[in-house]
Structure 1
């Protein structure tokens, strides 16, 4: 058996064992009659939809129906290590969106474009992600408010973050207390398993002048151990925390394997229900009060456009009757950009190999004691937030660097190199399976924007994504500085002294015509190794009426349509400075309160 198939076998075997040792969460589901009438329909049970549905069901006289395109999540989803959809390809648990070929990024890929994975099950992408709990920085929300969105300032949204959170970590520094909360539905813990490279991560940051911080407070420049949405070392999704308790109430119903294909509107452009497909049959559900789209930043704009709500010319070209001309639908697509491939080797056997992480000992440690490498996302431990190119705002980070406690190709290239060009595969071949670590910079406040469009008017075709990363020259030059900062960080003396760290000092063949580590070399490297952070947002932009590209109002109501809201990551006017899952929780919490306020229930 080859090393590749051994790894694949071990990952799959771990998942099978997870199903043996862990009780899968089974959400009570219902089968609706062909034409059901409820008060609220929530489309999607992901990170926002589950929050919205659970909170609305707190009002006992409201009947709430959740329609989820996927099914029950697998038992292995509870294991933090098993988070990559690529480990279980062609899975019924995933949606695969089509990505347009990129002009400015991803140049080392075999096929520039490819597919973009999202979760398709109860819990949505919150069931397959890396579980990073990251609120962003206070300035993100001050910027939202300054763009004409009252009620979305940092002081206001902070209370919703705290309402959701059950923080299990120490309050360090002590002045973090006003920003943290315990007792909420979502467990938050620091990464528990720390291999040798992680144990010196904070000291490496100190060499660069970065103090240890709690990045979910108002102090954001510094280094930290990642915080995860886990409890007792198991993944916690909003479906676990909000939807499952809500389903114990008689007024909340969940129907799975139900893909919504169209919003039903009356002659006055009032949303009165949805059409959906369940077991190959088209059914309808009607809402006496509102339809709420929480299908995510890809499928919420897709559903609007399929229903005739969006850019008129685009829709008419596809043969879709335009009901409401909203040019901003599917526009303003924003993504965090990451750069892979900045790596160091370390002494052999000083860090756990990929086989140790999914080996017998690791599995027994997890299933019997909830300890060991399976308690954490694969390879993730620490982060560094710093300012490398924005001197006008020196106290605000413009990049985030993730320390990954494994060499890029520690998986023997099975997943890391499979999508890459042969020249890149050949370059890394001598390092396959070696112990090491990587520094992965992420552009957290990008200026580049892209689009989400329809492939056709067929509701079962996936949306087409063009993230258009690095199209803005400021983003490109900032990522060159980020790559150089990552190199300096990984070259910290503590890594060499404690681990024998050695950078890979051989130029990438595709960039070898430039002087090694010159600015031009790094520009070539950045264009080649760049990719998305899978943080899709902004495609149904929240904005005041004065903004022609706005899709929803600050109360998340769709312009030009009555009784229709969008409540998910697509409403972000600008992407926040970090992983966006926790932000999506907050949007769900606040969106539910906006609905309650409008009906006099708060």
Structure 2
């Protein structure tokens, strides 16, 4: 039985509950060192050599941009998940790639072991249309007799026998009534890094002090929700350019979309992406910094609404900018050290959990220093001849919140980082994998929850740390891998 209330795709099996399943936008697996570290922490079966076949198995890769750097040894075809490039390439992308080469970085396939460098974005679209997890993995198999998908359902609690510590059923709401689904063998939770810990906590699996505070009987004392990790992203670098995008009739855009090209096929970071190693990462050839160039910035007001910027902050970042000819470069700290948490607000499944990302809180301030080094690199990158050809000019004005500091000094940038660093929606690590539950692990290397005989978690919550990539591709890998773990358990592999 599969529980999905969240956003990680799940493998081919039975499902209960859930909202729309969707992947992220850019398809970025991470560096081989990530997975070798994962294995070396006491998790056999999760090295790069172990997981690469699962990445390739799920992938249907299309090199629809013949100029994109590709190492076909690390890609698969014929899988459920489409991976391709946005077309046509933009002038912003050309400037970004040329600027990287000007500074000595090569063009690379970042889903190969040679991740450091720049590339057009590999994204989960198929003929220009978004290829989310639901359309990729579920829609093609809806007629299978061993699959039942119930939309508009909401899983609220696991029914666990307190004596045997075995999951006897899953309570979920559907059409105004509470139902229970009883597993024949086991239950697999894939509700994401926020909802998976929430569901475990509601079911009595979590830190005993927190469960006692919420008046929930303790079934298993585990550090569920205690280690929320995420990639922090700085949103404060906006630039003007001399590129003016032509306006066309709506019918032209629709015609392009139907051909799989044009602006209607853009899904997020459609331009360039790059991976770099800062002075703080001591492992050779291991990227800890990501840059993404986004253009044009017609969705700038999204950030004001989403992150709650006041008018002064918004005007300093976007005021007076022609969004139709502007671009941003986002800076992402990949090896996040700051640790947050996911806790219950109450013992009601209908209350949103309390999420504390706790960004830029690591005691040695490495996270903010990595982002500051990223700012300096972006300013250097946009000063190259390649960016001068498109008239790139830094546009943001000093933030009123940082007026006590000299504009664009180091102290100013540190202040700005604390004002404009937010979520990039890559939460992981709230049910981490590890060999010892006494050291904070929630699941073992088979994704089984410690102390519960028939329960697994299979989503980004099991990541033991943030990867040098985005969670969606590793989530798909986990889905493929847990399918084999289940088959192996019951001699079906």
1:248 is paired with a residue whose SS is coil
| Residues 534 and 245 (structure 1), Cα distance of their counterparts in 2 relative to 1, 3 Å cut | same
CA shift for structure 1 position 490: 1.9
Contact kept? 1:171, 1:177, Cα under 8 Å: no
Instruction: Give the structure 2 partner of residue 69 of structure 1.
Output: 18
Instruction: Give the structure 1 partner of residue 311 of structure 2.
Output: 422
CA shift for structure 1 position 176: 1.7
Is 1:351 aligned to residue 262 of structure 2? no
Q: Which moved more, 1:275-284 or 1:231-240?
A: 231-240
Is 1:220 aligned to residue 115 of structure 2? yes
1:166 is paired with a residue whose SS is strand
State the distance in 2 between where 1:177 and 1:385 align: 19
Instruction: Give the structure 2 partner of residue 393 of structure 1.
Output: 283
Instruction: Give the structure 1 partner of residue 380 of structure 2.
Output: 488
Is 1:139 aligned to residue 33 of structure 2? yes
Contact kept? 1:351, 1:435, Cα under 8 Å: yes
CA shift for structure 1 position 501: 1.6
Is 1:461 aligned to residue 351 of structure 2? yes
Instruction: Give the structure 2 partner of residue 294 of structure 1.
Output: 190
CA shift for structure 1 position 45: 6.9
Instruction: Give the structure 2 partner of residue 273 of structure 1.
Output: 169
Deviations 1:309-361 (A, max 9, x none): 111111111111111111x10011110011112121112xx2327xx499553
State the distance in 2 between where 1:453 and 1:536 align: 14
Aligned Cα root-mean-square deviation (Å): 2.1
CA shift for structure 1 position 476: 1.2
State the distance in 2 between where 1:49 and 1:488 align: 38
State the distance in 1 between where 2:34 and 2:98 align: 28
Contact kept? 1:195, 1:405, Cα under 8 Å: no
Contact kept? 2:26, 2:123, Cα under 8 Å: yes
CA shift for structure 1 position 404: 1.1
State the distance in 1 between where 2:207 and 2:437 align: 17
Q: Which residue, out of 562, 576, 583, partners 2:467?
A: 576
Contact kept? 1:149, 1:543, Cα under 8 Å: yes
Contact kept? 1:47, 1:584, Cα under 8 Å: no
Residues 155-194 of structure 1: matches in 2 within 5 Å? 155-169=49-63, 176-194=71-89
State the distance in 1 between where 2:311 and 2:6 align: 37
CA shift for structure 1 position 391: 5.6
1:392 is paired with a residue whose SS is coil
State the distance in 2 between where 1:322 and 1:493 align: 62
Question: TM-score scaled by structure 2?
Answer: 0.94
Matched residues, number: 486
State the distance in 2 between where 1:429 and 1:358 align: 28
Contact kept? 1:262, 1:303, Cα under 8 Å: yes
State the distance in 2 between where 1:234 and 1:358 align: 20
Residues 25-174 of structure 1: matches in 2 within 5 Å? 41-44=1-4, 48-51=8-11, 54=12, 56=13, 64=14, 66-70=15-19, 121=20, 123=21, 125-126=22-23, 129=24, 131-169=25-63
CA shift for structure 1 position 514: 2.1
State the distance in 1 between where 2:269 and 2:253 align: 14
2:92 is paired with a residue whose SS is helix
State the distance in 2 between where 1:422 and 1:156 align: 50
Contact kept? 1:198, 1:382, Cα under 8 Å: yes
Instruction: Give the structure 1 partner of residue 99 of structure 2.
Output: 204
Gaps in structure 2 of 5+ consecutive residues: none
State the distance in 2 between where 1:250 and 1:561 align: 29
Contact kept? 2:70, 2:108, Cα under 8 Å: no
CA shift for structure 1 position 577: 1.0
Contact kept? 1:197, 1:351, Cα under 8 Å: no
Q: Which moved more, 1:551-560 or 1:357-366?
A: 357-366
CA shift for structure 1 position 426: 3.0
Contact kept? 2:206, 2:221, Cα under 8 Å: yes
2:439 is paired with a residue whose SS is coil
CA shift for structure 1 position 157: 0.4
